[in-house]
Amino acid sequence: MLMKEYNLVIFGAGSAGFAAAIKASELGKKFAIVENGTIGGTCVNVSCVPSKHLLHVGDLYYYSKNHNFRGIRTGETSIDLAKVIQQKDEVVQYLRKSRYVDVLQNLPNATFMEGKGVFISQKEVKIGNEVLGADKFLIATGSSPNIIKLRGIDKVNYLTNAEALSLQKLPESMIIIGGRALALEFAQMYAHFGTKVTILQRSPRILPEDEPKIFEELTKCLTKEGIEIHTSVETKEVDEKGGMKIVKCDIEGKEKEFEAEQILMATGRKPNTDDIGLEKAGVEIEKGFVKVNEHLQTTNPNVYAAGDCAVPIMLETLAAKMGNIAVRNAFENTNLTINYREIPRVVFTNPQVAKVGYTEEEYSAKTHACACRTIPMSLVPKAQVINDTRGVIKMVIDPNTLKIVGVHIVSPLAAEMIHEATLAVKFGLTIDDVTDTVHVFPTMSEAIKLVAQSFRKDISKLSCCVE
């Protein structure tokens, strides 16, 4: 069998794989991308792009009828889910073609191969009947829904995020098992469409790794919109009778039963590392993830890994950063690393949740010294101007250096606001660096400056734009 030779073979055509491909092309390397699913990976096809589109549709529909402004009267509105989904599909198809298919076609020295790549040795990969040899390899196989093993789950027609993004008929009711980002986004999406949504979360709170003030504020906002949230839930069994799904569970020692037209399993994601011959490549896995060092190198020094298959922080932007760095480390010996504390994360509910850096608890445990301030968005003039004061912002600093080490936001524009905080954490800015910087008035981003000022002043007693 004739073997084709490359400088690099990339497993996966998602964000990590494409970032790696673009960098490899820039370096003049001959490479192949092997993809067993749909080009573009999870984000553009069944995650970030379609879900944020549908969340925006839900916001427009719901808040047009539920707003805080006197004098605005709205008439009868309705939603045709099939047409909404059709437009979502068109957006996905456009971005898949323009940002992935077309990009790949314009990359010099690139070969795209459809099929499953499997290592057959430390330097060879088999795809169908073809064998590829390479100097370096990148594993960027992504992740897939992690369905927990519940009694009766194999007999129930449940939804994952992929199916929930393609329903043609709006369900009257939906049970969502899970309480992190994916669960909360889909909960509000469908609640805004008009579905009665119930969240069943195993942990004592939603967003269990977040600051208490953050989850408390978001819980208040979601429940106010009619979403039913149950925490400390031990789900025992699922069933399906007469077209309805049934969930039997235990909540703090009491047996409860919930019924809905649909069940969405939002119980996390697992890395796609099975059945690709990692053992023959000399690549070890740890808790399902490809084991990598700080330079994204696996236990085989010629094999690297990036994205969801390598780290539990499953973000498209992080995956792309990792793909780029892996190729640079492989071919330029740059020894680049990633500080995961500098990576911002967002939950795209409304209000949104955004965070970067340490929580108060984490930094206190690390240094035994921490200072924090939390202010409500009602103290931000722009929030009063637009009559939407939902949310809070918390800043964590080192009390000795006054450097900002963490920022946590609940706000309708938290995803846009977090970037200034990310720069502050990344470059070790102090609260004085932020307060000495002129901000635009009135903006929601002023909240970053106001919470920094709150370490030195009572901002509730200040006029607008006071330094």
Q: Which helix (H) or strand (E) holds 139?
A: strand 130-139
Nearest CA among 185, 177, 223 for reference residue 202: 177
Residues 6+ apart with CB under 8 A from 188: 55, 58, 197, 222, 225, 227, 349, 350
Q: What is the C-alpha to C-alpha distance for residues 305 and 296, in angstroms, rounded to an integer?
A: 6
N-to-C CA span, the chain: 73
Q: Is 464 exposed, middle or buried (0-12, 13-18, 19+ CB in 10 A)?
A: exposed
The distance of Cα 255 from the centroid of its chain, to the nearest Å, equals 33
- Per-residue confidence (pLDDT) for residue 61, from 0 to 100: 97
Three-class SS of 423-435: HHHHCCCEHHHHH
Contact 214, 353 (CB under 8 A): yes
Tokens of 240: 């399906």
Q: Give me the tens of pLDDT residue by residue for the chain, a chain 467 residues long.
A: 568 899 999 999 999 999 999 999 999 999 999 999 999 999 999 999 999 999 999 999 999 999 989 999 888 899 999 999 999 999 999 999 999 999 999 999 999 999 999 999 999 999 999 999 999 999 999 999 999 999 999 999 999 999 999 999 999 999 999 999 999 999 999 999 999 999 999 999 999 999 999 999 999 999 999 999 999 999 999 999 998 999 999 999 999 999 999 999 999 999 999 999 999 999 999 999 999 999 999 999 999 999 999 999 999 999 999 999 999 999 999 999 999 999 999 999 999 999 999 999 999 999 999 999 999 999 999 999 999 999 999 999 999 999 999 999 999 999 999 999 999 999 999 999 999 999 999 999 999 999 999 999 999 998 887 67
The predicted structure's pLDDT at residue 227: 98
Burial status of residue 127 (CB atoms within 10 A of its CB: 0-12, 13-18, 19 or more): buried
State the Cα–Cα distance between residues 26 and 21, nearest whole angstrom: 9
Strand partners of residue 31 = 8, 110
**pLDDT value, residue 356:** 98
DSSP state of 355: E
Question: Which residues are bridge partners to 357 per DSSP?
Answer: 406
- By DSSP bridging, strand 173-177 and strand 262-265 are parallel
Residue 447 and residue 377: Cα distance in Å, rounded?
7
Domains, the chain, ordered by start: 3-144+270-338 (3.50.50.60), 153-267 (3.50.50.60), 342-457 (3.30.390.30)
Tell me the C-alpha distance between 35 and 431, whole Å: 46
The torsion angles phi and psi of 434, rounded to 5 degrees, stand at -75, -45
Closest CA to 37 of 10, 14, 9: 14
Alpha helices in 66-180, H assignment, sequence order:
81-96, 102-105, 161-164
Strands in 233-241's sheet, in edge-to-edge order, are 233-241, 244-251, 254-260
- What is the pairing mode between strands 31-35 and 3-11? parallel
Q: 461 by DSSP, 3-state: which?
A: helix
d(C-alpha 287, C-alpha 306), whole Å: 16
pTM for the model? 0.96
